A and B are shown apart, each in its own frame.
Chain A
Amino acid sequence: MKCPKCQRPVDHEAESCYSCGYSELEAAERYGANHVQLSRVHDAAACLRKQERDDLAEALDHLEMKFPQMLFCAYLGSLPPGVSMSELGFWLLNHGQVKGAEYARPNENAILLILDMNSKQIGVSLGYFAESLITEEDAYRALMHARPNLINAEFGEALERIFLRLSRVLRKKGRKLQKVSHQELQDQSRALNRNVLDLPPHLRPELPEKQPEIELRSA
């Protein structure tokens, strides 16, 4: 795992980044501690046509039927300079509430696509459960699969292809998990959550002095 801010490796149980001390508190300080409501496909940049929105919604319906536990959502916006997509993804998954998502689809099962129209970048933010199913390599391959559509400004079709590609990864992973026993599954979970960096627990850094202002602003 990497720190959303400095992109350096972060241990699973780290309360904050070893390098830069980044944590959810810093994200809340910057983007707000409140919860925000999102659409399943939140087109803040208004770059999707109706036909594309309909097609994408239909594809997401199929995917939700196929994977009842998973949450598929997307955020399309024109991010201002200085806003990191990884930080935004980290904050949205922890503070966002997708409309229509049942309790069976918590944000830790979410696959959030973030499309920045200014920097021409696209990224995938994964919840805890989703990142245990989808590796970074699979996610990157899915993004590359849709690159031609993104270059041709076919954003709706690009998002659909990415989701479909990721659903294929999920299907393979699901078939593998169905074959393993409960004990093996627990072993895998432990291996996944073990201390990668083998470092002592990193304590939460102290909040800066202007913390009360942030809380007031977010309130």
Chain B
Amino acid sequence: MKTTFLILLIASLPMAGLCSKVEMPEWEEPKAAASYILGGGLWPNDILADTDTGEGEGESEGETSEEASEGALATTEEGNELEKNPVAKKENLEFFGPAEGTEALAVPPPTEVARTKATETSVDAVAEEPVVEALPPLTGELKDLYFAHAPVDFLVDRQRLLTEQKSNDIKRFLEFHSDESDYHIYVFVVGETQKIPDDINLQQLHREWFADSPTVVMFYYREAPDMTEFVYNDAISSALPSSVFERIRQNCLREGAATDLAPDQVEKMAIELSIQLYWLSRLEQHESKEAQALAAETPIHELPASADAPELLREYAPGIFLEESGRRFVSMILTALLIVLVVIIVAAIGWTAIWWRNRDRYSGKPLLFPTFQVVPRLGGEFSGGGFVSMSFELHDPTR
């Protein structure tokens, strides 16, 4: 009996497993999934629309998620088909730019369609590349701005190619240089792609503008210091050998090549040119006989930087400030020592005067007089009547 019951029980076990069913989670209603918003409403609708583009199509067709995955699979298949056939790809892309073959095609305008991931990455890549503005040629009104009239400022940057702060610094330095030196420096800043018009003769222009005063004009091309041109007065050019000017140019170009940015290049080249012109003026003085005698009388170190020298010059040529600061330091020390010495002398004199006045008050070693016999007179035992008197009446008739 027991054996029969056991056989029946073992035989019924697989039947129960066949009849059981596993409960899986599911939406309450088939379309309830569409009512849930991804992100809880935190994201803008446009982004959700973009990201749900594939699903939206599936919803419009009333397909389930499995169908959507099938749609995505179909899209990849379509992509592969596009790779195989690029012509079909071009026809499928929606492009609102100018027609093919025009110049504007190179940079397509941003459109709503270009917001796909592929196009966004391409736009970012374009944005990271430096934007190079194509400067207009030096013609017409721009040409007149540069060359129509003699410049008023020492820095001529009509197109604002330098930063404002640096321009002010350079201007101030050039003004300081013109105050301190016999030579004036005018700096013209143009673009690296710009060329001086053919009808402009720099040497002739220099004669017209700066015939009276010794002036050096530096034409600087933005971020291309090796293209820099220097124009001198005819008198200066003829007085000194060309090697001198070539050396000045080389020194300036070397300074300019030390940096990459245009404002720094102009600044360094202007300072170097200023220094070179100082030595040029010294050289000229040495050339003339009268100047030779004058130069022999005045030592070089008599020309320290003035008090109003800009800090820019201190940064690049600190040597000219050292002597002045050292001299000032020495003079301060000497003055302080002199004051201390005077105070000590006055104190010593005062102390001596006080001591001299009060020296009788200070008890020193007792002084003993030798005794000797005295003879009394007028019958006095201790005094013989020795007496001295004085009146301290203001209106004493006897005085």
What residues of chain A have their CB less than 8 Å away from a CB belonging to chain B?
A: 1-4, 10-17, 22-25, 59, 62, 65-69, 85-86, 89-90, 93-94, 106-108, 110, 114, 119-133, 136, 139-140, 143-144, 147, 150-151, 164-165, 167-168, 170-171, 173-175, 177-178, 182, 185-186, 188-189, 192-193, 204
Contacts and interface: CB of A to CB of B under 8 A. Distances in A.
Interface stretch (B55-63, B118-126, B378-386): B378-386
A16 B366 contact: no
Contacts of B391: 119-122
B392 A151 contact: yes
A8 B316 CA distance: 98
Q: 4 closest A-B pairs (Cβ-Cβ)?
A: A123-B389, A24-B379, A93-B383, A107-B382
Interface string B248-279: 00000000000000000000000000000000
B391 to A, nearest CB: 5
A110 B382 CA distance: 9
Contacts of B66: none
Interface in B343-399: 360-364, 366-394, 396
B388 A123 contact: yes
Given A12-B377, A15-B377, A17-B378, A69 B369 contact: yes
Contacts of B380: 24, 90, 93-94
A132 B382 contact: no
Contacts of A69: 368-369
B376 to A, nearest CB: 7
Contacts of A65: 363, 366
Which of B378, B389, B391, B396 has its CB near the most chain A CB atoms (within 10 A)?
Answer: B378
B369 A174 contact: yes
Contacts of B371: 129
A132 B369 CA distance: 11
B392 A4 contact: no
B389 A121 contact: yes
A180 to B, nearest CB: 8
Contacts of A147: 390, 392
B386 A131 contact: yes
A175 B369 CA distance: 9
B132 to A, nearest CB: 98
B387 A4 contact: yes
Contacts of B367: 66-67, 170-171, 174-175
Which of B360, B386, B392 has its CB near the most chain A CB atoms (within 10 A)?
Answer: B386
A24 B367 CA distance: 32
Contacts of A189: 372-374
B369 A133 contact: yes
Contacts of B375: 12-13, 193
A207 to B, nearest CB: 12
12 contacts: A10-B377, A12-B377, A90-B383, A110-B383, A122-B390, A123-B388, A123-B389, A125-B385, A128-B382, A131-B383, A151-B394, A189-B372
B347 to A, nearest CB: 25
B388 A128 contact: no
A3 to B, nearest CB: 7
Contacts of A164: 360-361
A132 B390 CA distance: 21
Nearest to B372: A189
Contact of B374 (A62, A120, A132): A132
Contact of B388 (A90, A143, A174, A204): A143
Which of A94, A107, A168, A182 has its CB near the most chain B CB atoms (within 10 A)?
Answer: A94
A65 B367 CA distance: 9
A178 B376 CA distance: 25
A151 to B, nearest CB: 5
A121 B374 CA distance: 29
A58 to B, nearest CB: 9
B366 A1 contact: no
